[in-house]
Every structure is written in C-alpha cells, then in structure tokens.
Chains A and B, each alone.
Chain A
C-alpha cells in the first residue's frame, strides 16, 4: 500500500508510534513500520522525510546525529514530551475511529 492510500494524517501517527519505544533514524523508522505491518505498508522516502521535518517543526519530535548500529553517523529522531502526548491523543482518536468504521461495516 502506498502512503497516499493511507488515511490522511495516519503517516504521522505511524511515525510517532514507531518512535514510542526508542529513538530511531529515518531508515529504521520506515523499516519498523514495514515490518510491524507485515510488509503491507511501505513508506516512501519522499513522504517520510517531509513528514519527519514537519513533525520536528511542530515540536513533536527532536533529532540528533549519532552513530548507528553500523558505526556510521545517522540522524536519530525521538519523541518529545509533546510528541508523546500527541501520540496518546492520536491513538485514542484512532481507536475510536477504527472501531466506529468496523462497526459500520459490520452492521450497515
């Protein structure tokens, strides 16, 4: 599935969720989402980096250059306090929405 097929705004949620456990760099975030979704979601870099920069501009995540597992420098992103709160809020919202959609699809 291409990101544009995702419901608008879901990419941000996925990124925030991918960063919930630990700080990751861009490639690892994409990888994480791909693996976690059982290879269904493949985030294109063309969407990923603008989204990361937007989230950073919004103060939801912060970045830092440090060595990655292969020993090269990579830019690691981590949730800020605000980002963590936003994730909570978005998750609740998402749960409610998807539950509602599921219900509708089953009953309507």
Chain B
C-alpha cells in the first residue's frame, strides 16, 4: 500500500512538474558525464578525449530523456490529456457528425433521464420523515386500513415503538373567505391520528406540529397543519397565519404549523394533501360506523429492533387482537416494509409495470440512437482507414489507437448526455407545472438530484460502450497493405458487416416500438369513438360535496338533491335532469361487488359480480340509457315502500336465467338486501372504456343505506353544455353555501377514464416516431455510404451496359436484406411483448392487431425503399468517366 502511494505520488509529481523532472534529469546526466570525464582524465586521457569518451557511452541524450520519461509513467496520463484535446479538435472539424451524434444521444438520454426521474418521484423517493429506515408501512388483517379501535390497540400493544394512522380518502369543504366573497372549496385533507407528527417526525417549517396529547380525538381537537403549497397558493402566504382559523366543514380549525415546501408525504406516490387534520368528533371514528376501517398504519420500530423481529411481534399482536374481536378469518401482517423502500401492493405494481414499460421503451430508443452514432463512427473509421493504417504502420500501438477512438466516443457521449440532461430539465419543469386531470392532489416534484446525476453517468457509460467500442475495434483491425494503397477492405462487400448488424438491430427495435405505438394510437382513437352507452356530448355533471361530520349529521341529503334537481330543471336549455350518488367512468363510479345472491327464493345461492350504482328518478332518461322493460325509479321508491332495483341486460341474462326479469326477487346474503327487479336497461360502461359487458344493479338513492358524502346532479342539455355550467353553478350555490360544488361538462368529467390511453398513445407514439426517424436516418446513411464506396464499381457496370434496374437491385440488395431480417425479428418480438399490454386496450382491439403489425411492416418497407432509393438514384446519375477518375 505504501508502495502504491509512493508510486502514485511520484507519477503525479512527475506530471505536474514535468518541466522540472526533465531539468532534473539533465542535471543528473550532466553530473554523470562530469564524473566519467574526471575518471577518464585520471586514467590519463586528455580532457577533450575524456569528455568525448564519456559522452560516447551515453547514446543519444534525447533518447535517454524520452525513455526516462516513459519509465516515470508520465506518458500514460500525458497521452490521455493529449488525446482528449486532439479528438475534440478532430470532432469540431466535423460539425455534421457532431450535431447528428449529439442530437441522437440527447434525445435518447433525455428520455431516459426524464423517465428515471419520474419513476423516482413516484415509486422510489422516500417521504420526508425522520429516519425513514425505521419507519414502516404496515398492512394488517383485512387490508389497507384498520378501524380506529384496532389502531389504538396496535399502538398500545408494544409490538413496535408506536403506530400512527392516516387517511387520505374523502374531501372536506373549506370556506374560502379570501377575495371578498365566500365559497366552499373542496380540498383533500390528510386525516391523522394525534401522534402522527411525533411518530413520523414529519418536519414543520413554521409554527409547530400538533402533539399527541393536545390532539387526542377524544378532546375533539380543531387544529390544522397546512402544506406550504396551500399556504402560498390559497392563503396568499399570509405571514400571520399561525393561530388563525380555517373554516372547514363549517367548523373553525386553528392553524398551528406550516410544512416545508415540496414535502413528500408519508402516503407516497406524490400524493400531496392540502391540510393535515387530527381525527376528531366530526372527522373521526364517531362520524363513521363503528366497524369502519378508517386509517392506514405507519409504525416506528423500537431502537435496535430489526425489521423481522418487528414483523413477527406485530403479526402475533394482530392475530391476538383479531381473535379477541371475534374476527376469525383475518389477522396478521399483510405488508410490512420501511417507507424508504419500494412500495408494494397492487397500486404500486400497476404503476411500476407502467414505468417499466416506459423505461424499456426509452432504453430502446437510446439503443437505436447509439446504433446510429456507432454507424456514423464506423463510416468515419472507414474514411480514415488510410490515416489509421499509416499510424499503425509507423508503429502506433493498437491499444493506443483504440484509446483515442474511445475518447472520441466519450466526447460524443458526454456532449450528447449534457444536451440530454438539458432536455430532461425542461421536461421536469413542464411536469412540475402540469396538473393532471385526476381528482387527487398529486404533486410530482421532479428534481435533478444526486440519483439523477448518477443515472446520467450510467447512461454516459452505456452510450460510450454501445456507440464507440465496436467502431474502435473495427477501425483498427485491418490488414495494412491494402489499406495503405487505398484498396477497398473486404468487409464492405461482406453481407453482415458490423454496420449491417447494427442496422438490423435498429430496424428490429424500431419495429417493436412502432407496433406498440400504432397499437396505442388506434386504442386511443377507439376509446374516443367508443360509446360508453350513455350521453356524453350533451350532458353536464355537478358534483356536490356535502359537509361531513357532527354539525351536519342527520341532514336530509336526498331532499337536498331533489331540491337541486328541481332548480336545475327550471333552467332554460335543460332537457332532463336527475341526481345520483355515482357517475360511471369517473373515480366516483359505483362500487364493485361480489356477493352471494338468492334468486327468486331459490334454495341455492350463487356468486354474482356486478357494479352497484345508486341513482334517483329519471336517471336513465337523463343519461340516455335505454329502458328495455319495466319502469324507471320514481319519487315513490322511498323508505317504507317495497325495496326495488333496476338491472342491466347483462345482469338479467347472466344471473336471472332467460325468464322475464321484471318482478323477480333478488336477495344478497352478505348485506341482507332484498328487492324486486322493476326494470331492465341497456348495457353501458361502468369503470373503464375497455371493459366488456359488466353486470349492474341500480338502487334508488332514497332506499339506499349508504351514507351520501358526495352527490351528483346530472343534466342533459339541448345545446352545448358548457353554456350551462355557470347558470347551474349559480343555481346550486344559492341553495347552501357550505357545500362544495364543481360543475363541468360530462366530457371533461370523463377525462380521467381516458387518461391511461391518452398517456400511452402520446408517449409511445412519440417514442415510436422517434425510433422510426432514427432508424430511417441510419438506413439512409448506410446505403448512401455503401453507394459512395462502390461508385467506381457502379460506374463500370453502367459503362458496360448494366441496366438502371440492375444497378438499383445491386444497391438495394443489402438494404433490403437488413431491413427484411430486422422487420421479421421485430414483428416476432413485438407479438410477444404486446400480449401483456392487452389489459390497457379497449375491447375489440386485440394485442396482435393486424392493422398495427401490417401498418408497421408497410411503413418500414416504404421508408427503407425511400432511404435506399435516394442514394441509388444519385449513384446512377454519376457519369462513368468522372467516377472512374475518382480512384
């Protein structure tokens, strides 16, 4: 080790003091000559003779100096620096190459960094909390949430140090008193247990967090910690906000703290609630059924406790608690992982899969880009054959030449990546300012941090290896004599040259990209023309967020909705209007059920799966869903009158057996509902546009036991619904100032359902086009290059009477072969890759859609014909006399 340090120090000193080392050596050598001269004199020579003899033993002083310098190990570093300077100058002399390579790499790298930072923000980034390694997300018993009582028992149970609970479901109505008027605004709170801030250590920038003692739900706390974004955007950054009250659901909440900017919440996925409220009488357990699961668990490990110890302890505790509660089916840990690791669970898997597809696609684009750059460098290497041959012939070593060519590649990779990072920074700014059409507050705060920087370095390395290594090896492997004489190397006419293989690979990858791109674009077109089975273009939806909690308990919401319907009906331009508790294809679509049903009092029950929609009178005529038999709900379907329901065609066919469904009795065992079918309606889409025939049961809202937290008034309009948005909002707002009202055309309410296909189509479409362009460019470059090498041959052939067709065939033979093989391979691989994507596609569009595959093949044939015909044509125009004089 000491030796290594010595040696290293010596080298660095030699390099830094290069001049001084040489002076040193000169002095040393002079001294040597002096001594030899003295000795020679002592032996009896004359001084002149003695000096000549001394010098003669030396050889050339310059040689010694060079060799000594090499021996000092200076050469390696010095050469490296020289190569960096030399190659940069050489590249700057070829601006076309530099621009083409930079653009290719920048697009490829930019896409990858963008997707990496996105993935990081959504799935990898740990929440801002104290010591995230000992903070764990836990799921026990039934699922994601537990009851308030279970949380208390787990917290006190001693399996872990503490447990906090939080929930981001639901919205509250905040009375915005700013700007003169007052209006209720629906905001998403994070409801937390009193000890939340103490357990998680979520930092607070101004004021303080609320403490576990002051915020106990039993004390009915009305405290709030608000996010920086809410404070700045909604409260104007009021510097005296601490201590002020916010009116939420009609009750005052005192602001005690403001969180730091861009805080990543414990909930993950970039979810950013506006306010953190402690559970209290209105929001907490007392406002909900006793057995309602209301909080998600996040626990802090005991000091020194390992993850597996904690998991075992929690598992035992939860099983015991479940047994005590008489809950024999469940109990035990389902998920247990520190908050700074991957999120597991279904949502995370879906998002992860989506990001993995994106990552794969963008890496493919980078590979195509690298193949282009490699192709350019190989071509350039061939152009420089003579220069390289000369250098090899006069003794330049191959490793040294490879080093130089690799440094050239490194420059390209560095410049391209720098440009790519620039592109991705622009992308991040755009994303950060974007608001997604989703009903959750998600803030993706993409930043270029250390991880992104490391990712960029990795991409530089990948780019370097893929685009420079092959050309460097290829360029320096040659037989010298023909190269010096400027004879054609053999590999140009060889069918599978390195460039050819690159091109084949490039065509293959772009084929895959293009197939998926066309598939998703067709999917998007289909989803937009697919009728959901109800009126979209001439309908609008008003969402009514009721105040939840004690102050409003017992309010007659159906009555409110009926009044609202009456007000809207009186507006001019409204054709029909109804209320409902759900709107299909939005996040407020009806609930999915799988229950045991007893049909018409049969002895046997059967398992039925269906969507349950809670609606009001005239719902079907308003929505434009055809009534196939029986009747709609009316005002008389109320509590006290016989329980009724309407089913759709699929439900009737699937579960009610060919008989006339009207009048049949249906009982669900689990929730002890018992009703008679009074109507049958046409099928429509419930949850996704891609779904195929989903069974549905419609229940009158008046007879539903479900608590209505959000209601909807749906209106069918005679003209463009946007004109009615403002009048409807005004009419409804006048009814009650405390409810939060959002009015929008049905089409915009459905944006959420179209979001996945939109994103898929735009991202894959863009990347697919990019891949096609890059591949076309690579093809064009290859063909024109090989034509330029063979111009002499072509000229001779035409001079000897070869027809234009024969020459064209000659030129295009190679291109056709490479494209053909690449295309065939690409289509094959695409067939394997697209099949798992079918979950994202609408019904009726198969993953091996012939249009997408055929279209891709056609596009490639056309593009490759064009890319090789252009250079072939120019080759045929060259006069034989000129061409033969070239060599």
Interface residues in chain A, defined as those with a beta carbon under 8 Å from any beta carbon in chain B:
25-27, 30, 42, 44-46, 49-54, 56-60, 62, 68, 70, 72-75, 80-82
Interface set, chain B 147-203, CB cutoff 8 A to A: none
CA–CA, A93 and B11, complex, Å: 29
B64 touches A59 (CB 8 A): no
For residue B5, which residues in chain A have a CB less than 8 angstroms away from its CB?
A: 59
Give min CB distance, A44 to chain B, whole Å: 6
Name the residue in A42, A45, A72, A82 with the highest tally of chain B Cβ atoms < 10 Å from its Cβ: A45
How many residue pairs between the two chains, A and B, have CB atoms under 8 Å in the bound complex?
88
Residue contact B6 to A82, C-beta cutoff 8 Å: yes
Distance in angstroms between the alpha carbons of A56 and B73 in the assembled complex? 10
Jot down 27 A-B pairs with beta carbons below 8 A, ordered by A: A27-B31, A45-B29, A45-B32, A45-B64, A49-B25, A49-B28, A49-B29, A49-B68, A50-B68, A50-B71, A53-B71, A54-B71, A57-B7, A57-B11, A57-B14, A58-B3, A58-B7, A59-B3, A60-B3, A70-B35, A72-B34, A73-B27, A75-B24, A75-B31, A80-B6, A81-B2, A81-B3
Contacts of B63 in A (CB 8 A): 46
- Contact (Cβ within 8 A) A82 B34: no
Distance to closest chain B CB from A20 (angstroms): 18
Q: Provide the bound-state CA to CA distance between A16 and B710, in Å.
A: 91
Which residues between 4 and 48 of chain B lie within 8 Å of chain A, taking CB atoms?
4-7, 10-11, 14, 24-25, 27-29, 31-32, 34-36, 38
Q: Is B57 part of the contact surface with A, judged by Cβ < 8 Å?
A: yes
Complex interface residues of chain B between 30 and 86 (CB less than 8 A to chain A): 31-32, 34-36, 38, 57-60, 63-64, 67-73
With a cutoff of 8 Å between Cβ atoms, the chain A residues found around residue B73 in the complex are 57
**Contact A57 to B58, CB < 8 A, known contacts A27-B32, A62-B6, A82-B6:** no
**Taking the nearest CB of chain B, how far is it from the CB of A9, in angstroms?**
14
The prevalent SS among residues of B at the interface is helix
Contact partner of B32 among A26, A51, A57, A81, CB < 8 A? A26
Residues in A whose Cβ lies below 8 Å from that of B35? 27, 70
CB neighbours of A59 from chain B (8 A): 2-7, 10
In whole Å, how far is B182's beta carbon from the nearest beta carbon of chain A? 81
B6 touches A46 (CB 8 A): no
With beta carbons under 8 angstroms apart, the residue of B27, B31, B70 that contacts A50 is B70
Q: B10, A57: Cβ atoms under 8 Å? A: yes
Scoring A52, A59, A60, A82 by chain B CB atoms within 10 A of each residue's CB, the highest score goes to: A59
Give the residues in chain A near B3, CB-CB below 8 Å: 58-60, 80-82
Cα(A72)–Cα(B14), bound, Å:
24
The CA-CA distance from A52 to B71 in the complex, in Å, is 8
Q: How far is the CA of A53 from the CA of B32 in the complex (A)?
A: 15
- Within the complex, what minimum Cβ distance (angstroms) separates B867 from chain A? 54
A73 contacts across to B, CB distance below 8 A: 27, 31
Q: Is the CB of B31 within 8 A of A53?
A: no
Known: A26-B31, A27-B35. 17 other contacts (CB 8 A): A44-B58, A45-B29, A46-B58, A46-B64, A49-B25, A49-B68, A50-B64, A51-B71, A53-B69, A59-B2, A59-B7, A70-B38, A73-B27, A74-B31, A75-B31, A81-B2, A81-B3
Question: How far is A80 from B7 in the complex, measured between Cα atoms in Å?
Answer: 11
Q: B58 CB to closest chain A CB, in angstroms?
A: 5
CB distance from B60 to the nearest CB of A (A): 8
B36 CB, min distance to chain A CBs, angstroms: 7
Q: Could you tell me the distance in whole angstroms from the C-beta of A55 to the nearest C-beta in chain B?
A: 8
Q: Using a CB-CB cutoff of 8 Å, which residues 256-303 of chain B contact chain A?
A: none
CB closest residue in chain A, given B34: A72
Q: Which 7 A-B pairs have the closest CB atoms?
A: A46-B59, A54-B71, A59-B6, A59-B7, A50-B67, A82-B3, A53-B71
Residues of A within 8 A of B71 (CB): 50-54, 57
Q: Which residue of B lies closest to A83 (CB)?
A: B3
Q: Are A53 and B38 in contact (CB under 8 A)?
A: no
Instruction: Annotate B800-817 by CB proximity to A: 1 below 8 A, 0 otherwise.
Output: 000000000000000000
Q: For A42, list chain B residues within 8 Å (CB).
A: 57
Which A residues are CB-close (under 8 A) to B24?
A: 75
Chain A residues positioned under 8 Å from B4 (CB to CB)? 59
Residues of B near A30 (CB, < 8 A) are 32
Distance between B392 CB and nearest chain A CB, rounded to angstroms: 25
Measured CB to CB, the nearest residue on chain B to A28 is B35
Q: A27-B36, A50-B64 are in contact. Are A57 and B31 (CB under 8 A)?
A: no
CB distance from B251 to the nearest CB of A (A): 78
Complex-state Cα separation, A47 to B28, whole angstroms? 14
Residue of B nearest to A80 (CB): B6
Which residues of the partner chain A approach B67 to less than 8 Å between Cβ atoms? 46, 49-50
Q: For the complex, what is the distance from the CA of A53 to the CA of B59, rounded to whole Å?
A: 17
Chain A contacts for B31, CB-based, 8 A: 25-27, 68, 72-75
Given contacts A57-B72, A58-B7, contact A44 B34 (CB under 8 A): no
Contacts of A80 in B (CB 8 A): 3, 6
- Identify the closest chain A residue to B70 (Cβ): A50
Q: How far is the CB of B47 from chain A (nearest CB, A)?
A: 16
A44 close to B6 (CB less than 8 A): no
Q: Distance (Å) between the CB of A13 and the closest chain B CB?
A: 16
| Closest partner residue, chain B, to A54 (CB atom) | B71
- The distance in angstroms between the C-alpha atoms of A102 and B64, with both chains bound, is 35
Report A-chain residues with C-beta under 8 Å of the C-beta of B11.
57
Per the bound structure, the CA–CA distance linking A2 and B3 in Å amounts to 31
Closest A residue to B73 by CB, please name it.
A57
Which residues of chain A are near B32, meaning CB under 8 Å? 25-27, 30, 45
What's the Cα separation between A74 and B24 when bound, in Å? 10
Instruction: Give CA–CA (A26, B798) in the complex, Å.
Output: 73
Kindly provide the distance from the CB of B16 to the nearest chain A CB, expressed in whole angstroms. 15
Residues of A within 8 A of B2 (CB): 59, 81-82
Min C-beta distance of B6 to chain A, whole Å: 4
Instruction: Using known A-B contacts A57-B72, A57-B73, determine if residue A45 contacts B57 with beta carbons closer than 8 Å.
Output: yes
B11 to chain A: closest CB distance in Å?
6
